[in-house]
């Protein structure tokens, strides 16, 4: 009888121990799952910011093959495709995302952005029209301004650009867009001012520097602005200024600027050499 009781006691102890081990395993599993979620979230952020865009695309495609219903992974793929300059594919993904029950206004803004990149301005405008005016973000107003520009609705464009500038601490790129809008309208003086502001916020923004030179050239001001540039950038800006002068009919000035661009460039400046030979020929 004692042997039976001892055996039962051992059995109960073994069962209790096994249950305890299972409970601990479950706790460990839950803890590890939490750590994995944190790690994955960090990895997703890395893929969307500093990783090579095409590697990011491949990463999110692999993740979606394993779990195709996850909306966060679909968003990651959409953003990665846009970063990789694969806007057509990106627009397809964002088109699927906005049909999801949990889609947000930000998803619709990203979809409109992708559509603009593919040149589908009308569809982008219709998507933005579905977002209530109370949803005010920098990206929304930047896109609204670009669409107003495409429709030549200049007052609306200026209003949207002004609002977008006020909604970001880094307005360099939107100021450059606004300046380019003014440039296409022939408002060269205001365009130059906006490009100058853009460079103040982002001294590395070469597009704004180049556009500023175009605005000055259109006013027959063929002196480079006093801005921070590398030697290569200076040569490229001189080349742009030369072409602006030639377009205005100031051929002699254009030749001199081309020669200066060739002498300034630290390497062989093929584009400027070709332009000068064309003029002399």
- Note the pLDDT of residue 40: 65
DSSP 99: T
CA 30/CA 40 separation, integer angstroms: 15
CA 72/CA 89 separation, integer angstroms: 17
In this prediction, the residues of the chain whose per-residue pLDDT falls under 70 are: 1-41
- Note the pLDDT of residue 62: 94
- Note the pLDDT of residue 23: 52
- Note the pLDDT of residue 45: 85
Q: What number of other Cβ atoms are within 10 A of residue 161's Cβ?
A: 26
**Cβ atoms of 57 and 74 closer than 8 Å:** no
Task: Give residue-wise pLDDT tens across range 217-235.
Answer: 999 999 999 999 999 999 9
> What CA–CA distances, in Å, run from 212 to 11, 34, 137, 238?
86, 52, 27, 12
| Domains assigned to the chain | 40-120 (1.25.40.10)
**Cβ atoms of 246 and 278 closer than 8 Å:** no
- Note the pLDDT of residue 48: 87
Q: Is 185 exposed, middle or buried (0-12, 13-18, 19+ CB in 10 A)?
A: middle
CA-based torsion, 18, 22, 27, 28: positive or negative: positive
For the chain, count helices (H), then strands (E).
Answer: 14, 0
- Note the pLDDT of residue 38: 43
Q: Pick from 70, 91, 33: which is nearest to 60 by CA?
A: 70
CA 75/CA 77 separation, integer angstroms: 5
Task: Give residue-wise pLDDT tens across range 90-118.
Answer: 999 999 999 999 999 999 999 999 999 99
Q: What is the pTM of this model?
A: 0.80
- Note the pLDDT of residue 15: 42
- Note the pLDDT of residue 269: 95
């Amino acid at each position: 009888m004692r042997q039976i009781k001892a055996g039962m006691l051992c059995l109960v102890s073994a069962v209790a121990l096994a249950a305890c081990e299972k409970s601990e395993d479950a706790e460990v599993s839950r803890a590890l799952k939490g750590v994995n979620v944190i790690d994955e979230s960090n990895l997703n952020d890395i893929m969307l910011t500093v990783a090579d865009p095409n590697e990011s695309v491949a990463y999110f495609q692999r993740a979606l093959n394993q779990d195709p219903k996850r909306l966060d992974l679909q968003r990651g793929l959409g953003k990665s495709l846009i970063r990789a300059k694969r806007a057509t594919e990106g627009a397809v993904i964002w088109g699927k995302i906005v049909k999801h029950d949990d889609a947000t206004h930000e998803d619709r803004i990203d979809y409109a952005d992708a559509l603009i990149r593919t040149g589908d301005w009308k569809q982008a405008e219709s998507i933005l029209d579905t977002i209530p005016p109370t949803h005010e973000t920098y990206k929304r107003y930047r896109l609204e301004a670009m669409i107003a520009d495409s429709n030549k609705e200049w007052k609306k464009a200026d209003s949207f650009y002004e609002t977008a500038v006020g909604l970001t601490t880094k307005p360099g790129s939107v100021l450059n867009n606004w300046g380019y809008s003014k440039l296409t309208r022939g408002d060269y003086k205001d365009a130059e001012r906006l490009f100058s502001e853009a460079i103040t916020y982002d001294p590395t923004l070469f597009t704004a520097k180049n556009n500023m030179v175009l605005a000055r050239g259109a006013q027959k001001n063929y002196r480079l602005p006093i801005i921070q540039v590398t030697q290569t950038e200076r040569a490229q800006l001189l080349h742009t200024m030369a072409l602006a002068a030639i377009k205005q009919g100031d051929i002699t000035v254009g030749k001199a600027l081309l020669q200066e661009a060739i002498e300034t460039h630290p390497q062989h400046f093929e584009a400027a050499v070709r332009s000068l030979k064309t003029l002399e020929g």
